[in-house]
Amino acid sequence: MLQGFRNLPNGISVRPARSGDRAFFKKLYRSSRTDLEALNLDPDLFNSVLDMQERAREVGTGTNHPNGIEFVLEKLGDSVGRLAVAPEPDGMRIVDLTFIPALRNQGLGTAVIGSLQQAASAMRGTLVCMPLCTNPQLRTTLVLLGFQVVSATEIAELMVWTPGTPAVPGPVVVPTAAV
Summarised one tens digit per residue, pLDDT across range 20-71 is 998 999 898 888 877 777 778 888 887 788 778 777 777 666 677 788 999 9
pLDDT, tens digit (0-9, with 9 covering 90-100), for 123-146:
899 999 999 888 888 999 999 999
Crossing angle, helix 22-32 and helix 43-64, to 10 degrees? Answer: 110
Angle CA 167–133–101, to nearest 5: 80
pLDDT at 152 over 70: yes
Domains, the chain = 9-161 (3.40.630.30)
Residue 42 confidence (pLDDT): 84
pLDDT, tens digit (0-9, with 9 covering 90-100), for 60-119:
666 777 889 999 999 888 999 999 999 999 999 999 999 999 988 888 899 899 989 999
Residue 60 confidence (pLDDT): 65
Give the DSSP letter string of 105-155.
TSSHHHHHHHHHHHHHHHTT-EEEE--BTT-HHHHHHHHHTT-EEEEE-SS
pLDDT at 174 over 50: no
Residue 153 confidence (pLDDT): 94
Mean pLDDT along residues 152-165 = 92
Residue 142 confidence (pLDDT): 94
Q: Is the pTM of this model over 0.85?
A: no
